[in-house]
Amino acid sequence: MNAANQEDNSRLHRVQEMLDSGTMHKVSGLLNALQPGEIAHLLESLPLAEREIMWGLVKEKDGEVLVHLADDVLDDLVSKMDAADIAAAAENLDPDDLADLIQELPATVTNEVLASLDAQSRHRLETVLSYPEDTAGGLMNVDTVTIRPEVTLDTVLRYMRQLGDRVPASTDALIVVNRDDSYLGMLPLARLVTGERSDTVAEVMSVDFVPIPVSKPDTEVAARFERHDLVSAPVIDDDGRLLGRITIDDVVDVIREEGEHQFMGQAGLSEDEDMFAPVFTSARRRAIWLGVNLVTAILASWVIGQFQATIEKLVALAVLMPIVANMGGIAGTQTMTLAIRGIALKQLSLKNLRWLLRKEFAVGFLNSLLWAAMVGIIATIWFNDTSIGWLIAAAMTINLLFAAVSGALIPMILDKFNIDPALAGGVFLTTVTDIVGFLAFLGLATVFLI
């Protein structure tokens, strides 16, 4: 483990030691000293058996721990709790966190949880639940502190002192609304405490900020937070009425998941995949992915099958053909990775796609020259046959150019059909690069060599 991993790993290691040695009181002691997020991280790092034991030792913080867990791990633990425990854990969670949690729970438990809430909390929860999880509505919190524009900062300060502990912890700004709750502006606490007492809110509030529509997708909300360096932002409905506010801690999760989704998706895994999921669960999920890829592999083999006669005459072809296919796959993946990120960051439009295509085609051409020559020479020397050298060089050039074009186009086309390029892109790309690779190499051989 390099330095960056020391801290977490030593803690993880300590916990595992304690669990092994059965000194549970030590584990409990450690847990009390940890933040919910840290406990969640530990639980995710533990194999199922140890995880269950440790979860049994998590006491009062259990609700917040659940909120911090990846979905799969959450399901695993919740499936072993009875409704009453879950309801108890769900108490005194923020509505937005509770909403996330509830969407993972079995319906029977959901009702139990709802029943256990007081009227106001239930109302707030139902508000958040009424919006899709992956929109601003699903991210927002409804416990906002609002003020009127006409009052003075002095009045606001007195109001705040009255509220006392009822002011949400993460409050960094107060939201200014008029009588019918329409959003007017924000009053950052920094301005509140630095401004003149006699000034009115309207004089010092900041209005340059555009509130977030409740239906905005969460990835766009995240982009907005990143580009405006926001800490929290108000959420409004179509009539400009204030519904709640989104805080950065929830946005950070969205950004983390976006990154993991692209990375895990390439291997056909979900970003929520539990490293220690039960064998059968994992096997079932993986099987599907392997099956999909088997189809593409068989397709490629079928292409080779068409040239059995050629290969029989010149076995060297069988030796060299994987090189052509593999290099195409590698080159295409580089282009596709750029395109997928471009799409995710909304930086790839139909217009600049043309530019990307031209550029990637040129890059592919330059590299095909370099490596086709290299491979051609190697093949010539290896099999002491110039024609084989020319053959593989030509085939590789063709495949690298195809790879560049399909690497750029496939993600865009998939995205157009609302198929996730991060998940499906690789399968389509390798199908193209394998088939074109084998077809070009064996086809040219059949025409010119045999």
363 belongs to the binding site for a second copy (CB under 8 A)? yes
Distance CA 4, CA 10 (A): 11
Nearer to a second copy, 13 or 123 (CB): 13
Min CB(383)–a second copy separation in Å: 9
Site for a second copy in 5-64 (CB under 8 A): 5, 7-9, 12-13, 16, 35-38, 40-41, 44-47
User: Starting from the edge strand earliest in sequence, which strands make up the sheet with 242-247, in order?
Assistant: 212-213, 232-236, 242-247
Of 19, 37, 38, nearest to 28 (Cα)? 19
Q: Residue 84 contacts by C-beta under 8 Å, 6 or more apart in sequence?
A: 112
CB-nearer residue toward a second copy: 51 or 124: 51
Considering the rule CB under 8 A, would residue 92 count as an interface residue with a second copy? no
Task: Using CA atoms of 17, 18, 19, 25 in order, give the dihedral in degrees to the nearest 10.
Answer: 180
In angstroms, give the least distance from the CB of 68 to a second copy.
7
Residues 96-125 that bind a second copy (CB under 8 A): none
Place of tokens 């096997």: 283
Give strand pairing partners of 152: 200
Interaction of residue 342 with a second copy, rule CB under 8 A: yes
Nearer to a second copy by Cβ, of 25 and 351: the residue is 351
Question: Binders of a second copy among 237-296, rule CB under 8 A?
Answer: 248-249, 251-253, 255-256, 258-260, 262-264, 266-269, 273, 275-277, 279-280, 282-283, 286-287, 289-291, 293-294, 296
> CB of residue 121 vs a second copy: minimum separation in angstroms?
20
Q: Is 378 in the site for a second copy (CB under 8 A)?
A: yes
Compute the least distance from the CB of residue 175 to a second copy, in Å: 14
**Residue from 21, 92, 207, 297 that binds a second copy (CB under 8 A)?**
297
| Total Cβ atoms within 10 A of residue 398 | 21
Q: Does 80 bind a second copy (CB under 8 A)?
A: no
HSE (side-chain half, CA atoms, 13 Å) at 101: 30
Question: Hey, how many other C-beta atoms are within 10 angstroms of the C-beta on 41?
Answer: 18
- Concatenated DSSP letters for 326-345? HHHHHHHHHHHHHHHHHHHT
How many C-beta atoms surround the C-beta of residue 6 within 10 A?
Answer: 10
Query: Which pairs with CB-CB distance under 8 Å and at least 24 residues apart come from 391-395?
Result: 391/441, 391/444, 391/445, 391/448, 391/449, 392/320, 392/323, 392/324, 392/441, 394/440, 394/444, 395/324, 395/437, 395/440, 395/441, 395/444
Please, which residue, 276 or 390, has the CB nearer to a second copy? 276
- Shortest CB 115 distance to a second copy, Å: 28
String of DSSP letters for 129-141: HTS-TTBHHHH-B
Rounded CA-CA distance 440/324 in Å is 9
Q: Does 334 bind a second copy (CB under 8 A)?
A: yes
Binder among 90, 304, 388, 429 for a second copy (CB under 8 A): 304
Q: Is 169 in the site for a second copy (CB under 8 A)?
A: yes
Q: Cβ of residue 236: shortest distance to a second copy, in angstroms? A: 16
Q: Residue 57: how many CB atoms within 10 A of its CB?
A: 17
State which of residues 84, 370, 381, 447 lies at the interface with a second copy (CB under 8 A).
Answer: 370
Based on CB atoms, which residue is closest to a second copy, 365 or 390? 365
Rule CB under 8 A: is residue 198 a binding residue for a second copy?
Answer: no
Instruction: Give the Cα separation of 210 and 64 in Å (integer).
Output: 31
Candidates 24-32, 84-92, 124-132, 309-317; binding stretch for a second copy (CB under 8 A): 309-317
- For 200, the 3-state DSSP assignment is strand
Which member of 84, 157, 207, 381 binds a second copy (CB under 8 A)? 157
Min dist CB 106 to a second copy, Å, is 26
Contact between 433 and a second copy per CB under 8 A = no
Question: Least Å distance between CB 72 and a second copy?
Answer: 12
What tokens does 403 get? 């790879």
- For residues 211-240, which are near a second copy according to CB under 8 A? 217, 219-220, 223, 225-231
384 binds a second copy (CB under 8 A): no
Does position 300 interact with a second copy (CB under 8 A)? The reply is: yes
